[in-house]
Structure 1
Amino acid sequence: MDYIIYEFGIIYKNLEKPDEALSYYLRSVDIRKETDERGLASTYQNIGNVYKHKKKEDSAMYYYSRALALHKKFGNVSSEAMVTSSMGDLKFEFKKFKEAKEYYLLCLQIDKEVLDSNTLATTYINIGNAYSALRDFKTGEEYINKGLGILNNLGDKEGVMSAYEMLAFLFQEANEPKLALTYRIAYQEMKDSIMSIKEKEQIAELQTKYEVEKKDLELAKNKAEIEAKEKQNFIKNIIIVSVVILLLLLAFIATIIYRKKQVEQKAALNEELARQKDIRSKAVIEAEEKERIRIAKDLHDGVGQLLSAAKLNLSSLESKLKIRNPEEEVALQNAIALVDDSVKEVRTVSHNMMPHTLLKLGLASAVKEFITKIQGMPNLKVNLEIVGMDNRLEQEKETVLYRVIQEIVANIIKHAKATELTLQLIRDEKELSIIIEDNGVGFDTSKINLFEGIGLKNIISRIEFINGSVHFDSTPGRGTNVIVEIPIG
């Protein structure tokens, strides 16, 4: 009789009729107090669950406490952990996060004793959520990741999906949008994967039903044909059908093989074309850089030295010549000044073609030096932001990126009519992003392939050479935003 009353309580609870369920549970308590203390613990626990559902904290805690005492008395460790976790959930629902954390930590000690991996993972995640609610995001992340590791080992995809969602919420609250987005994407991908598996199972079930029904129909048809036709005609028909099916099957297989070979040949051709394109691009860029270095050295060591010698000779002649009038003095000083300006110009050109700062100190320092040189230009405000560029990239990448930045900034100065230019270099673990933005005249990006100049095409080919991507976002009259993304690591 007691068991039936208790089961009625469970049924009403599952039907979400808490008042009726509570009535039967309380009747069960009156009986079990005298006959079954072990069962009484379960009844108290279910009464606590009903009060928890009804949002009555004190009543729920009272019955949970009585259930916990009985579970401890009889050494029912698994149920003890379950009740302790429910008490933590109750406190969490009432936003008493500190108390919830303490119950979850107590539950963790019990979980480790019974070694229930699923419950242990859930407890870790509950603790992490409590720490997150208390704004201790680092500790919260550690506990959630512990639970995530167990769920991954168990292959519990739905649990993993839930843990990803918790991490996304944690990093959102911690104001780390990139990590929040990463885990939100992981959550969505896992959710899609679970949905895909369920859909495949449903399709497989429908397919099985279809095949069974189809087979039954074929059997019935064959039986009718056997009964309706003579044995000889039946055998003849079977032979004809078999030959046709075989021919169709052979034709189908031949078609598949032919198409497969076509696909493989096309893929191989595309791969070879891409490889040849990379080789040509690399050769062109390497040759261009070598030529820049050669010209820079020639200018510095050849023309620069000759001009310096000419300046020295003119300066020497100045003391030897007899100046007859002020006009001759001015002409001589102008000649010396022109030679001096030429020396400086040659050095500047040489340095721009192959800056020593890029070779010695890397991309960040070279960009700072480059920006410093153009910051003095009238009617143009230049902003520079560099983040995470403590370590250098490969020299080849640094050279390509420096050239691209030079080209883009030069185009802005020449064509954009901008009054403000912003350059950002932002590096994280996986990629380097370069963002160049101006408030100039802009252009129509849909006509980028129609431009006669080679500047933009050169930028795109250089970035593709180092496996990066470049995106131009611009509208006439609203400035231009160039985003370059390079994979690293």
Structure 2
Amino acid sequence: MAATMVAGIFFSVLLGNRLNSQFTDISRLSAEAVFARAEERATAERLTIARDLHDSLAKSIHGIRMLAESLDSSLGAENHPDAPLSHTLLEAADEASREARLVLDGLRSGGDEDIIGALVEEATRWGARTGLSVTVNRGDSDTPLPCSTEAMWQLQRILGEILANIERHAHATSVDLSIFHDDSCFRLDVRDNGIGFREDVKDLYREGHYGLAGLRERSETLNGAFSIDSPSEPTAGTRVRLRVPITSLHSASDKEKIV
């Protein structure tokens, strides 16, 4: 009798454990299915917005840029006194066009794309447009590094702002871009050979110059650390460093898989 009771208790506990395990699996699969459906809907919405922006805003910006380029060329050829102003207008149109392209690229991205390849492509395009020499060092590995749409967007904007600052203010002729990662950290280093900052970097942060506050805020959204080194010597250049935890590059579902 006692043996029968013990056996009954044992099988009840065993059955309970199995049921709990199955309920846990069902809950996890249900959550993953809900997340997948939400991701699918979000992707469809992003593509719809991207098409609308491309057919309206992006084309308008492109038209403005073409007019600005024509005006700049015409006034420059005539040595018109307003030629510098027209060139400033062209630079602003270029910047707006670049921003629009980044927005569209971010909306079209479905996530889990190679962040290293995307940043290298961004820097290469920038170098071709500005005529500055860009050297890329991505270490010994050519393995793609998957990245969520949100993190991809933030990192592209960070690099874009760094390169824009170099173009506007550094008077540099070359830029070195280094991208490395290991199991715990993603590292982005950008160094130029320009004139550097004449002001104290802490003052620039506080006063909001060169978009530095925005760069820091974007890095903080990725739980990252952002720093700038700019020696006072002429032509010493500026070095910008970004450190981001690898887990911050993944979407919520990917983080669950990693854990």
Q: CA deviation at 1:393?
A: 2.4
Determine if contact 1:437/1:481 at 8 Å carries over to the other structure. yes
Q: Aligned match of 1:472 in 208, 211, 228?
A: 228
Q: Aligned match of 2:184 in 427, 430, 438?
A: 430
Partner of 2:87: none
Task: For 1:363, give the aligned amino acid.
Answer: I
Partner of 1:355: 105
Higher strand proportion: 2
What secondary structure does 2:194 align onto? coil
Answer 1 or 2: higher relative contact order, Cα 8 Å, separation at least 6.
2
Partner of 1:447: 203
Determine if contact 2:174/2:193 at 8 Å carries over to the other structure. yes
Q: Aligned match of 1:371 in 123, 127, 148?
A: 123
Task: For 1:445, give the aligned amino acid.
Answer: V
Partner of 1:382: 134
Aligned equivalents of 1:405 and 1:306: distance in 2?
Answer: 25
Determine if contact 2:177/2:190 at 8 Å carries over to the other structure. yes
Determine if contact 1:430/1:487 at 8 Å carries over to the other structure. yes
Partner of 1:409: 163
Determine if contact 1:445/1:475 at 8 Å carries over to the other structure. no
Q: CA deviation at 1:298?
A: 3.6
What secondary structure does 2:147 align onto? coil
Runs of 5+ consecutive residues of structure 1 not aligned to the other structure: 1-291, 309-344
Distance 1:431 1:358, change over 3 A: farther
Distance 1:384 1:294, change over 3 A: farther
Distance 1:406 1:348, change over 3 A: closer
Correspondence 1:458 to 2:188: no
TM-score, normalised by the number of residues in structure 1: 0.30
- Cα shift readout 1:96-153 (whole Å, capped 9, x = no counterpart): xxxxxxxxxxxxxxxxxxxxxxxxxxxxxxxxxxxxxxxxxxxxxxxxxxxxxxxxxx
Q: Aligned match of 2:150 in 383, 393, 396?
A: 396
Distance 1:386 1:377, change over 3 A: same
What secondary structure does 2:146 align onto? coil
What secondary structure does 2:183 align onto? coil
Distance 1:411 1:299, change over 3 A: same
Task: For 2:201, give the aligned amino acid.
Answer: T
Determine if contact 1:434/1:483 at 8 Å carries over to the other structure. yes
Misfit runs of 4+, over 4 Å: 292-297, 303-308, 345-349
Aligned equivalents of 1:307 and 1:441: distance in 2?
Answer: 32
TM-score, normalised by the number of residues in structure 2: 0.53
Q: Aligned match of 1:481 in 218, 239, 246?
A: 239
After superposition, residues 207-226 of structure 1 pair within 5 angstroms as: none
Correspondence 1:420 to 2:174: yes
Aligned equivalents of 1:299 and 1:373: distance in 2?
Answer: 22
Determine if contact 2:138/2:178 at 8 Å carries over to the other structure. yes
Q: Percent identity?
A: 28
> Would you say how many aligned residue pairs link Structure 1 and Structure 2?
163
Distance 1:294 1:420, change over 3 A: farther
Determine if contact 1:296/1:350 at 8 Å carries over to the other structure. no
What secondary structure does 2:239 align onto? strand
What secondary structure does 1:390 align onto? coil
Larger Rg: 1
Distance 1:358 1:414, change over 3 A: farther
Runs of 5+ consecutive residues of structure 2 not aligned to the other structure: 1-45, 63-94, 248-259
